[in-house]
Amino acid sequence: MASTMSTTTDDIDFMKATIRLARRNLGRTGTNPSVGCLIVRDGQVVGRGVTAPGGRPHAEPVALAEAGELARGATAYVTLEPCAHHGATPPCARTLISAGIARVVTAVVDPDERVNSKGHAMLREAGVVVETGLLEAEAGHDLAPYLVHKSLRRSFVTLKLAVSPDGLLGLRGGRQVAVTGTEARTQVHLMRAEHHAILIGAGTAIEDDPELTCRLAGLEDRSPQRIVLDAHARLHAGLKLVTSARETPLLVAGPVNPALADSGAEFLACEYADGRVALPELLEDLGARGVQSVLVEGGARVAEAFLAAGLVDRIALFTGAWRVGDGVDPARHVVSPITAATPPKGYGLTSTGAFGQDRLHIYDRA
Ligand code: AOF
Ligand code: ZN
């Protein structure tokens, strides 16, 4: 939807700030989206709110509480349409009206059937000026996991790939090679914190023995659950993923594996196709468990399987600075299905970034 016309450059700046605020709780609000709300009066921010961890309270009452009486006659910027339904608390649209907000500027309509433009209507009926669709694409980028989970009833999938300039994800056998540097790896840890789950295949789990936690200072408690595709019960008790399963949940998609008894790992019964976990059904099951977003981190076969099934919503493509395949038997090359020179069909570039010497390209389904 195009933005309504009575918005100003100030509105754009305040909405940008609201979008940044909403990012704070990405991945922490359960099946609720992380929404931002700013209350602005005479050009001054007088209240800030973001959906609380777990999903409640919503952003608007938090921002209104900070603004207090200053909310009367003020403008509220909200990244998502204020809700119109009674949950544990009254509808946010009603709370904004009661606080005396004069104008509400929003980015994205809430597709939740209990809201779905009813929040905007409630505000307008009470005489509040409502502008919608401001920076809808930008806010929608962060809300995409919520929007996909709501509409398709499956988890949103981000595929993360780290590719060397010679187009490789790594080398088979022998020691693991680093494709990207420290800064890019830090960014990956942040991406982990912003997703509900991280997923890899059993092959990668066994070969690389990764921990798959978020180890950023201050965000250590933001490690999402780890999911391993293990159709043939190959995981063993010595793996870091398994020994840490009591601290950070491990969900094994595959048959119950007696080798992991008493480890704390949980098993998810799956459907299979050609001896591999059936991905569409898996994502539906995860969606039903409230897993809004999954970061797929490896390896190449898992990446290809998600791409082939048309189940990748977003691609985070890191490109490293050094070639890793020179002088190595090509049989050991793990070739990436995608590189920055061969971008994925059906996807559009939505942003780029630089992390040390490495580059990040984000592609979203067009
Ligand atoms: C808002 N502000 O900050 C958020 C909203 O289970 P409940 O009652 O919390 O409702 C969940 C729904 O609330 C969710 O599906 C979405 O429609 C809306 N989320 N709404 O006004 C917020 N997080
Ligand atoms: Zn609400």
Residue 14 in this model has a pLDDT that exceeds 50: yes
| More confident call, 67 vs 175 | 67
Terminal-to-terminal C-alpha distance of the chain = 16
**Coil/strand/helix, residue 219:** coil
Exactly one of 60, 81, 131, 194 is catalytic; which is it? 60
Q: H or E element: which one contains 141?
A: helix 136-152
The pair phi, psi for residue 68, each rounded to 5°, is: 55, -135
Distance 105 CA to ligand 1 centre (A): 17
Architecture of domain 153-365: 3-Layer(aba) Sandwich (3.40)
CA pair distance 100, 83, nearest whole angstrom? 17
- Per-residue model confidence (pLDDT) at position 238: 97
The proportion of the chain whose per-residue pLDDT surpasses 70, expressed as a percent, equals 99
Both structure tokens of 112 = 């939740």
Residue 340 in this model has a pLDDT that exceeds 90: no
Burial 153-192 (b: 16+ CB within 10 A, else e): ebbbbbbbbbbbbbbbbbbeeeeebebbbeebbebbbebb
Summarised one tens digit per residue, pLDDT across range 99-119 is: 999 999 999 999 999 999 999
Both structure tokens of 115 = 């809201």
Residues with CB under 6 A from ligand 1: 32-33, 35, 51, 55-56, 58-60, 80, 82-83, 87, 92, 110, 112, 115
Structure confidence at residue 263 as a pLDDT band (50, 70, 90): very high
Residue 326 in this model has a pLDDT that exceeds 70: yes
CA pair distance 167, 356, nearest whole angstrom? 19
Beta bridge partners of 317: 161, 361
Ligand 1 mutation pick, 24, 34, 58, max ligand atoms within 8 A of CB: 58
Structure confidence at residue 134 as a pLDDT band (50, 70, 90): very high
Q: Is 53 exposed, middle or buried (0-12, 13-18, 19+ CB in 10 A)?
A: middle
Query: Which atom of ligand 1 lies closest to the CA of 87?
Result: 8
User: Residue 17 annotated as binding?
Assistant: no
Q: Give this complex's ipTM.
A: 0.97
Q: H or E element: which one contains 250?
A: strand 250-253
Which one of the ligands is nearest to 56 CA?
1
User: Residue 204 annotated as binding?
Assistant: yes
Burial 288-326 (b: 16+ CB within 10 A, else e): eeebbbbbbbbbbebbebbbeeebbbbbbbbbbeeebbe
Summarised one tens digit per residue, pLDDT across range 27-46 is: 999 999 999 999 999 999 99
Whether residue 57 has a cis bond before it, omega within 30° of 0: yes
Domain with CATH 3.40.430.10 in the chain: 153-365
Both structure tokens of 258 = 């007696």
- Per-residue model confidence (pLDDT) at position 5: 56
Q: Domain 9-143 is in which class?
A: alpha beta
- Per-residue model confidence (pLDDT) at position 217: 84
- Per-residue model confidence (pLDDT) at position 175: 76
Picking from 77-86, 144-153, 166-175, 330-339, which range would have the lowest pLDDT averaged per residue?
Answer: 166-175
Identify whether 60 is a catalytic site residue.
Answer: yes
Domain with CATH 3.40.140.10 in the chain: 9-143
For the whole prediction, is pTM greater than 0.90? yes
Query: Which atom of ligand 1 lies closest to the CA of 88?
Result: 8
pLDDT, averaged across the chain? 95
Residue 167 in this model has a pLDDT that exceeds 70: yes
Residue 82 in this model has a pLDDT that exceeds 80: yes
Query: Which atom of ligand 1 lies closest to the CA of 115?
Result: 17
Residue 2 in this model has a pLDDT that exceeds 70: no
Instruction: Say if residues 229 and 201 touch (Cβ distance below 8 Å).
Output: yes
Distance 227 CA to ligand 1 centre (A): 27
